[in-house]
Structure 1
Amino acid sequence: MNEILTLSALSILVVSFGVGIVVGLTGMGGGALMTPALIFLGVNPTAAVANDLVAAAANKSVGAVVHAREGSPNLRLAAWLIVGSVPTAAAGAFIIDAVGTDESQTTFVKTAIGCALIFTAVTYTLRMYLGMRAAARGVVAGDTDPAVRPIPTLIVGAVGGLLVGITSVGSGSLIMVALLLLYPTLSAVRLVGTDLVQAVPLVMSAAITHVIVSGVDVGVLVPLIVGGMPGTFLGARIANRVPQAVVRRGIVIVLSLTGLTLLGVPPVAIGLIAAGLVILGPVVWALVREQVNRPVPAADSADGPAESAPQRSGSSGGSPGDHGA
């Protein structure tokens, strides 16, 4: 009991509450934010991954049950993702364990998380761009299930599962973007529901093997769950009152800088990159938005009605608020 009532545990509780708010606001996968936060709080990287996976398994189960009751997931699509992801997610802990000494494992996991965060920042930016482009073209959410493409879906599940198993990053961000690209006619609610349903066995598989290999720290796990659940609830409640575009672009900047830090980039370089992202980022994004919102010339629209006429597609719905990015 004493290991729960410590300053370190209190810090983790506060941070997990804050991360939970962000997850509730944006739907962003908590692992991309919580795992590096635990590392910066002094938790060993392998322990950070293990404890975050166990906490995520509990939190995602709640969301998956809600979506399953509402009938939103595409269960056939989720099944193919699960077949691909569960074995590779389970292998993550054993891959880390096979790296060698504790020091080698720490270096390996930090590097893997750093690369995963950079990749997540890039794909999250792509997700915002797809939502903005869909909104500019008058795309509305579809209401029919697309034909499942087994092989590409299996590959997405396998790659996503391996990434989650090693870093705990990717179940709610990278896989979501891949689904957007593979199934653009999948509606927003089905996209989120499908991702949540497939994420439960994926995260559980990774969590179980991490517990077997390295165990969990009660002083880390309990504050993660106790702080994360109410934070996520609060974030979801205030989501409509917070400017999503600012929050989402802020997340991309945080992920990028955190990833670079874990990869060992010098602080001076990170400071310069941060200044560039903060100052030039909004300018570049405004130019992109202007280009996307530019009306399609009549000559171009004559080539085919699909580009100018509204379509029924799910790419508009990565998450509520993408369109305003």
Structure 2
Amino acid sequence: MHFDPTLALAAFGIGIVVGLTGMGGGALMTPVLVLFFGVAPLTAVSSDLVASAVMKPVGSFVHLRRGTVALPLVKWLCIGSVPSAFAGVLIARALGNDEAVQSGIKVALGIALLIAAAGLAIRGYTRLLERARVRDGRLEPLPQDRPDVAVRPLPTVLVGAVGGLVVGVTSVGSGSLIIIALMALYPGLTASRLVGTDLLQAVPLVFSAAVGHILFGDFQLDLTTALVVGAVPGTWLGAQLSSRAPGGLIRRALAFVLCASALKLLDVDNATTGIILIAALLITPLIWMLIRHRHGFTPLPWREPQEPRPERETAGV
């Protein structure tokens, strides 16, 4: 068995992002395997999911111990996600393993990453609007923590089912897609509870998909071992930091990486990819400054007067 320390180091960095934000497992790990380590897409999906089945419980245990998990939501999400994740593996397997299927999985990955990146941008904007309404007295400030969540069973099950299907086929979505849907359904959840809830619901979801890929996918033990060795300590470290560090900057960086990975997975040429990413680096901050100014905030967030604010505000904007 060949162990790749470079791959383990990359997995360590991705694990930190997963533990810190609840996002970026399949959305970063699978593209890294495909783009930088030359792993076939189906093999990357299979090995990433099996590694995630070991990685996710580490971060979720930290959040369970700290009480930052909405357990009723986990139950309803899993009712939808666990069977659909396994079904997604069967669908991917039924499509075959030839070049056309591998290409199709790459395209599906690219589209899923673009959706995830767009969701992150939408989340940042809605958080800014919420802060403006609180400041102007049009919205009551949310308390630091809301342990009692009014569960919406049917929408929650549907989110789990759709997310599980996407995860089973592409390995993307257990964090980046589902957590965005949770933000829309349950805006009262603080950032740390969103991350903790998402990490815990992803444990049975990813385990179901991982079992399917072990049985029917293209799982490789040496590849998965390197991922686990790097990702597990990274996830533990990220989860330890998640209740202390603001997630806004990390989510912006994650959105940039998601876009870059998506463009390459969609076979956009290097020159065009470079132009798009450079333009995003130069133009996006200016647009964000204008949006902040329009809603009455200082263009540069670090120049704002420091006031005690609810955690969900500091983490999302």
Q: Sort the TM-score into its range (normalised by shorter chain).
A: 0.7 to 0.9
Tell me, yes or no, if the aligned pair for 1:83 and 1:157 is still in contact at 8 Å.
yes
Q: 1:119 to 1:61 in 2, by over 3 A?
A: same
Q: Cα RMSD between the aligned structures?
A: 2.6
Say whether residues 1:292 and 2:295 are aligned partners. yes
Deviation of 1:89 after TM superposition, in Å, equals 0.5
Count of residues in correspondence between the two structures:
299
Q: For 1:134-177, what per-residue CA distance to the aligned partner results, in whole angstroms no more than 9, with x for missing partners?
A: 34425334424232112111111111111111111111121111
Equivalent residue, structure 1, for 2:257:
254
Q: What is the distance in 2 between the residues matched to 1:182 and 1:175?
A: 11
Shift of residue 208, structure 1, vs aligned partner:
0.4
1:103 aligned residue? 99
- Is the alpha carbon distance of 1:27 and 1:197 closer, same or farther for their aligned partners in structure 2, counting shifts above 3 Å? closer
Aligned pair 1:36/2:39, yes or no?
no
Post-superposition CA distance 1:245-299 (Å, at most 9, x none): 443322212211210111122322212211210110110111122233459xxxx
Q: Is the CA contact 2:68–2:196 (under 8 Å) kept in the aligned structure 1?
A: yes
TM-score, length of structure 1 as denominator length: 0.83
Counterpart CA distance in 2 for 1:292 and 1:56 is 40
CA distance in structure 2 between the partners assigned to 1:76 and 1:240 by the alignment: 21
Taking the aligned partners of 2:253 and 2:58, their CA distance within structure 1 comes to 27
Amino acid at match of 2:69: P
Q: For the residues of structure 2 that align with 1:147 and 1:210, how far apart are their CA atoms?
A: 35
Contact 2:58/2:236 (8 A) holds in 1: no
52-61 vs 94-103, greater mean Cα deviation:
94-103
- Larger CA deviation: 260-269 vs 65-74: 65-74
1:228 counterpart = 2:242:
no
Aligned to 1:22: 17
How much does 1:65 deviate? 2.7
Report the Cα offset of residue 116 of structure 1.
0.6
Query: CA deviation digits over 1:100-125, x for unaligned, max 9?
Result: 34212211110110001101100112
Residues 222 and 144 from structure 1, CA distance in 2 versus in 1: closer, same or farther, beyond 3 angstroms?
closer
Moved more, 190-199 or 23-32: 23-32
What is the rounded CA distance, in whole Å, between the counterparts of 2:66 and 2:245 in structure 1? 26
Instruction: Classify the secondary structure of the residue corresponding to 1:28.
Output: coil
Deviation at 1:317, TM superposition (A): 2.4
- The counterpart of 1:283, out of the listed 283, 286, 297, is 286
Give the corresponding residue for 1:132.
Answer: 128
Work out whether 1:201 is the aligned partner of 2:204. Answer: yes
When residues 215 and 178 of structure 1 are mapped into structure 2, their CA distance, relative to the original with a 3 A threshold, is same
Amino acid at match of 2:33: L
Task: Name structure 1 gaps, 5 residues minimum.
Answer: 296-311
| Stretches of structure 2 lacking an aligned partner (at least 5 in a row) | 136-140, 299-308
Q: SS of the counterpart of 1:100?
A: coil
Which residue of structure 2 lines up, in the alignment, with residue 171 of structure 1? 174
Residue identity in the other structure for 1:19 = I
Answering whether residue 52 of structure 2 is matched by residue 49 of structure 1, we say: no
Q: 1:203 to 1:149 in 2, by over 3 A?
A: same
- Identical residues among aligned pairs (%): 46
Of residues 258-267 and 184-193 in structure 1, the stretch that sits farther from structure 2 once superposed is 184-193
Amino acid at match of 1:203: V
**TM-score normalized with structure 2 length:** 0.85
